[in-house]
Structure 1
Amino acid sequence: MAFNYARLQAIAQRLIEKFGQTGTVTRIAPPDPVLGGDPVETAYPAKLVPMSYDQRYVDGTNIRASDRQIYISSVGLAIKPTVGDEAVTADGIAYHVIAADPNNYDGITDVVFIVQGRTNP
């Protein structure tokens, strides 16, 4: 019997909807290598929950005191957050994605995206 990851995804989405806030995941596409031009910045709306790391995980190098662990609902999000993206909270603080975990246990369903956000890359 297979585990129902879609149900787990729905639970995560409900919790993020209830306790989270509206934000965006911004992806910057580089300019065309032949034609040049400016980088293209695209913002994707998302529901997310930024949280501080537990003090025992803060080592000052891999995880800094100002880093945030950001839970992003995968439901309705057009992209998968990756390193280099920005997750912007509703408070207007831009966090650069330092590490990303899609929580995709069966290879099909992204349950929730958990990213490490840092204000200064």
Structure 2
Amino acid sequence: MATFDYADMQATAHELIEEFGQAGAVKRVTPPDPVYGGEPVVTLYPATLVPMAYEARYIDGTVILAGDMQIYISAVGLSIEPTVGDVVTANGADYAIITGDANKYDGVTNVVFIVQGRIAA
């Protein structure tokens, strides 16, 4: 049985996101040390992404709200996995990640990150 090439799938996803997307960033805030304190550390990770509004049929008012965005983030060149608690900058606005899916079908290769973003307060 032939094996599927997830790296090729990742490259295809990256090409499409690069062609139709925009430059953005994923912001991660590391909290201060619980013992020694200090200031939180904010780190920006440049990313290529495509933000898309949810279709009206998916907006249920509880899980997905009006104004939420479905954001496709290329895994190529991104050194982190975007997760809940991170903030994505797209379309000139900051979106807090509500949920996300790494699309790691083989358990190793991140093909594309798909996250639900909500305007950050």
TM range (shorter): over 0.9
* C-alpha distance in structure 2 between counterparts of 1:59 and 1:46, whole Å: 29
Q: What amino acid maps onto 1:74 in structure 2?
A: A
Partner SS, residue 16 of structure 1: helix
1:18 aligns with 2:16: no
> Which amino acid in 2 is paired with 1:30?
P
Matched with 1:50 is 51
Residue identity over aligned pairs, in percent, reads 60
2:87–2:120 Cα contact (<8 Å) kept? no
After TM superposition, give the deviation of residue 2 of structure 1 in Å: 1.0
Deviation at 1:34, TM superposition (A): 1.0
How far apart are the structure 2 equivalents of 1:27 and 1:118? Answer: 16
* 2:35 match: 34
Q: What aligned pairs does 1:75-90 form with structure 2 within 5 A after superposition? A: 75-89=76-90
SS in 2 for 1:51: strand
Q: How many residues align?
A: 120
Q: Mind listing any 5+ residue stretches in structure 2 that lack a counterpart?
A: none
Alignment of 1:96 with 2:96, yes or no, is yes
Is the 2:75–2:112 contact (alpha carbons within 8 Å) kept by the matching residues of 1?
yes
Report Cα offsets for 1:1-52 as digits up to 9, x if no partner.
Answer: 1111111101100000000000000000000111101111000000000001
Could you tell me how far 1:96 is from its partner in structure 2?
Answer: 0.1
Structural RMSD (CA): 0.9
Task: State TM-score, norm by structure 1.
Answer: 0.96
**Aligned residue number for residue 68 of structure 2:** 67
SS for the counterpart of 1:56 is helix
Deviation at 1:64, TM superposition (A): 0.5
Q: Which runs of 4+ in 1 moved over 6 A?
A: none
Counterpart of 2:27 in structure 1: which amino acid? T
Contact 2:94 2:120 in 1 (8 A): no
Cα shift readout 1:53-108 (whole Å, capped 9, x = no counterpart): 1111100110011000000000000100000000001x320000000100000001
Query: TM-score if structure 2 supplies the norm length?
Result: 0.96
In structure 2, how many angstroms separate the alpha carbons of the residues matched to 1:73 and 1:12? 7
